[in-house]
Every structure is written in structure tokens, then in C-alpha cells.
Structure 1
Amino acid sequence: MKLLAQTNLAWMRYPLDDPRMAPMRDEIDRINRLGDASPGCVWRFETPDGDATAVRVLDDPRILFNLTIWRSIDDLRHYVYRTEHADFFRRRREWFIRPPQPPVAMWWVAESERPSVSDAMERLERLWREGPSPEVFSLADAWDADGRPVSWTRRSPRTNG
């Protein structure tokens, strides 16, 4: 069975310790725990000391990095848009600037696989260079684990074909 790997980057408007980031910063651990406990969440990347906010990518200290594995696209969508995470997602412009590139990449992995930061960045950069494909895609242009494009209804994904 294949699982869905998901990585996303968020370009902060202000340094993480800036008081304007407090509403987001003070809730990040709780929202991460909510994700960890959400149906379909298999794994979330953390540094050895448990602080994924310490990861630096693209030589930019303003970028927050996230990497998770889910049982399905629908499980991920539910967490993002149908849990308390959605409240923070709607407020994202308070804390983050519009990214210069699409900030999310997804791909299918073996059940035992746990991608590294480097793996995730390679996939994201491939999406930026080549666009969506069965090997790397976004929620808007998703592919199922068998390599078929997915179209979305309001409530659930539907496989084309």
C-alpha cells in the first residue's frame, strides 16, 4: 500500500519570535498535535529535539518547513480544511506572505518510507521546474497512487478514467 507524502513551505512575514507571530507561534504545537492525532496521519517530520521550525531550507530563515505522511489525499484534505487547522489556514495572510512558488508538493511513497528534508525539497523543486505529474503534484493537480489524475467534487476526490 502506498502512502501520501506532503511537504509545504511557508514564508513568514516577520521573524518567528516577533510579537505579531504570537497567535500562530503559540498554537503551532497544538495544531501539530491535532494533525498527528487526525485520522489518516501516519508520520510528521521533527528534528531530533522535536522542533521542525528549526529546519532551514532554501537558505532563507523566513521559511517554515513541514513534512508529513498520510494514508490518503482525502485524509490530508480533511485535516487541512475541516478541522481547527482550517481556522489558521484562513488567517495565513496575517503571518505569511504569498509564496514566490507553489508551496505544497505531494507524492506517493512506500509504507515504510520516511522522506528526508532533502527528499522533500527535491520533489518541491521538481514540481516548480516540471509541473504536476504522477511523481509529484499539488492538491489542485493530484494523482492517485496508481498514477491516475484525480478530480475533486466538493466533498471527495474522484478518480478519472
Structure 2
Amino acid sequence: MPHLALYTFGVLKSPLADPGRLTREFYESGEAVYREIGRRPGYIAHAEPAVHSRGTLFDADWREWGEFAVPAWYGKGRTAETTALAATLSLWADLRTAFDAVYTGLHRAALNRRYDWVEKAPHPNYVFWWVSDGVIPTWQDGVSRLEHLHDHGSAPHAFTFRHAFAPDGTPTRTTGIGPKSEDRVR
């Protein structure tokens, strides 16, 4: 059975190494969100470095998730002192469970504060795509899918909640969002 891959990307207003209050709040919120999401139905896994260290995303060992990569539009630093981005890569059982995790609980509260931490951008900040059972998506997969979504809009190759596709490539919908369709994810 296919799984749903999710890549998120945002450019932070300040570097991850910034000792300021907002950066501390971002980290604290993120740690709590990951703990809560890890217990959600439908959650399978997310990319984690072999050793956690603030701001060393580019040099980290991400094991089977591959070498860390970012979209072409990221123009800030790449060192532990200058990296200013938030990125996640995760696997989900389906759209409904991903939707429920994103729009409830601590993650919803963090989304409500995202512009305290993340710059507003003219490009998408997340993308979904289906992967075969047993396949672990890589950071580069996420970047290429996000850039494809930006350049071409939603398609079975790269899509959003609002314009989603089932594993067979047919348009689908998560109840409560997106254009009307006969197919609904429940």
C-alpha cells in the first residue's frame, strides 16, 4: 500500500543559532509538535539526523533520508551560525491522517504563529506525493517535488491538500477543504 510523503520548507526570519526569544520559542514549539505528531494515528516516520545539533542541517547524517537539500530559492546561510530555515520530511498513511495532524493540536497552534518565525513567501511551503510501500523519500525528492509544484501547480506528481490526488493519480479531496469532487478522503 502506498504511503504519503510530505516535505515542508520555510525561510526563517533569523538563523537557527540566534539566541533570541523567538528562535527559542520556535525550537520549543517544534520539539513539542514532533512529540505530539509522533503519537498521531497514520504517522509513520520523519527524517531525523543521526546526531541532533542546532543549525547543522547541511552537514548532518540523515541516513536513508539522503543528503540534506533545499529549494533553489533559499538564499540564506548554510553554516551552523547562518542557516535560517525550517524543513521537514515525513511519511503518512494517508491524506486524512496527515490533515488531522497538521490542523489540530500543537501543530495547529504553531501554524497560527508561523509568521512570527517564518518569512512570507511567493512559493509553496509544503508538498505531498505518494511513494510505494517501503520507499523512504529523500530530501532531494522533497525539493524537486516542491519546485515542481511551484512551477506547474498541483498534479499527481506533487500536490497540496486543496488539490490532492489519490495514489492512482485521480483527483481526490479531504473533506472540508479544496474543490468539490465526488471522491472524498474520510
The alignment's TM-score, normalised by the length of structure 1, stands at: 0.88
Residue 15 of structure 2 is matched in structure 1 by 15
Q: Unaligned stretches of 5+ in structure 1?
A: none
The structure that is helix-richer by fraction is: 1
Which residue among 123, 143, 157 is the counterpart of 1:101?
123
Distance 1:148 1:8, change over 3 A: same
Structure 2 SS opposite 1:85 = helix
Structure 1 distance, partners of 2:159, 2:136, is 18
The one-letter code of the counterpart of 1:135 is H
Q: Which position in structure 2 is the counterpart of 1:65?
A: 87
Q: Which has the higher strand share?
A: 1
Cα deviation, residue 154, structure 1: 2.4
Q: Is the 8 A contact 2:4 2:94 kept in 1?
A: yes
User: How many correspondences in the alignment?
Assistant: 161
Match of 1:46 in 2: 48
Give the TM-score of the pair, scaled to structure 2.
Answer: 0.77
RMSD across aligned positions (CA) = 2.4
User: Which consecutive unaligned segments of at least 5 residues does structure 2 have?
Assistant: 59-69, 77-82
Q: Which moved more, 1:69-78 or 1:117-126?
A: 117-126
> How is 1:52-131 mapped onto 2 (pairs within 5 angstroms)?
54-56=56-58, 57-58=70-71, 60=76, 61-131=83-153
Pick from 25, 28, 46: which aligns with 1:26?
28
Aligned match of 1:138: 160
Larger radius of gyration: 2
Task: Provide the C-alpha distance between the structure 1 equivalents of 2:106 and 2:137, rounded to a whole number of angstroms.
Answer: 26
Shift of 1:51: 5.5
Q: Structure 2: how far apart are the matches of 1:51 and 1:71?
A: 29
Return the letter of the residue paired with 1:35. I
